[in-house]
Amino acid sequence: MNFATNSARSLAVLFVCFLQPAAAETLFLLGGGIAADGEGGVAWSALADVSFTEQSSVSLSLASTRADGVPEDIHTRSWDLGLDHNFGPLGLELSIGQWGDPDHFDSDDGSLSLYHRSDNWYLAASYLVRDIDLTFRANLPQIAIERKLQTTATGVGIRARYTNENGVSLIARGRQYDYDADVTRLEQLEILRRRAPTAITLAGALLDSSVSAGIEWPVGERFLSVTLTRDATATDKIDINSLSVGLLSPVGRNFDLDVSLGYSKAANGDSAVFLSAMLFYYTSL
């Protein structure tokens, strides 16, 4: 799924944690936004999160991403449905979704997470699975070649967040995949090679691993954040490092705006700047 969707979902979890409804209330969170990079990549996303009780919530996210001429136009669509239920400090998250461009690739994704939440800590461990279908087309003189590859990726993920008494949070995330097919032979599959190695163009890409660490701190009613991320691609074994700075700020009653500016650079020298903005509305009934 795409980076804007993941960002929105993370913020949804944050809102649910701090704005937990009373037993008779239902909390609603709606979000929508846009992201763009310096190479012409654009992503749109929308999210809805409903907490029926203090124990249970359901979320749905939708996203669309367009990247022109890399070397072909790519237009991906994704959706993700998540269920969350806690039993006191322990809880379970189940997520299913789909991501892809029907002309080139398709991925059916799922995850199951076990987490522990307290006043200061949030710790989660996840089992991840992706069923991936890829189509490779090569147009040679007087002949067109089409090849298909199906592979299943399984992986593990961790998430951790510590918040002190002053509201300062330290955040860490990581995930790693293993593939049942040799995806390094796709190194020449140009549709997977990104000229702009940003979170937009990496959305749903074949990754060996992704790790990130960040800090978030309050400034009045606002929150500032700094995040470092390293992604390792599975096809060409290139590391991509990213730095992003974010600001989460109230913009009216029941509305928050999250703005992020980032820079990514790959080991092969490619680099790009990216910017995102998401508006959130939350209320209870």
pLDDT in tens, 149-161: 788 999 999 999 9
At 111-149, the pLDDT tens digits run 999 999 999 999 999 999 999 887 766 555 666 666 777
Q: What is the mean pLDDT of residues 165-187?
A: 87
Quick check: 233 pLDDT over 50?
Answer: yes
**Residue-level pLDDT at 237:** 81
Per-residue pLDDT reduced to its tens digit, 9-40: 445 445 544 444 444 578 899 999 999 988 77
Q: Between 56 and 198, name the one with better pLDDT.
A: 56
* Average pLDDT of the segment spanning 252-262: 93
DSSP class of residue 18 equals H
DSSP-derived pairing of the beta strands 121-140 and 239-252: unpaired
Please provide the distance, in angstroms rounded to a whole number, between the alpha carbons at the two ends of the chain.
30
DSSP letter for 206, please.
-
Q: What is the pLDDT of residues 178-214, one digit of tens each?
A: 999 877 766 555 455 444 455 555 545 678 899 999 9
More confident call, 208 vs 91: 91
Tell whether the model's pLDDT for residue 285 goes beyond 60: yes
Model's pTM, two decimal places? 0.83
Lowest mean pLDDT across 45-49, 99-103, 142-146, 233-237: 142-146
∠ Cα 195 198 201 (to 5°)? 65
Q: Among residues 95, 3, 91, 88, which one has the least CA distance to residue 49?
A: 95
Rounded average pLDDT over 38-53: 89
Would you state the pLDDT for residue 183?
75
CB 1 within 8 A of CB 97: yes
Residue 100's pLDDT is what?
A: 84
Q: 22-36, 161-175, 263-277: which has the minimum mean pLDDT?
A: 22-36
Beta-ladder partners of 130: 109, 153
pLDDT on residue 90: 97
Burial of 111 (0-12, 13-18, 19+ CB in 10 A): buried
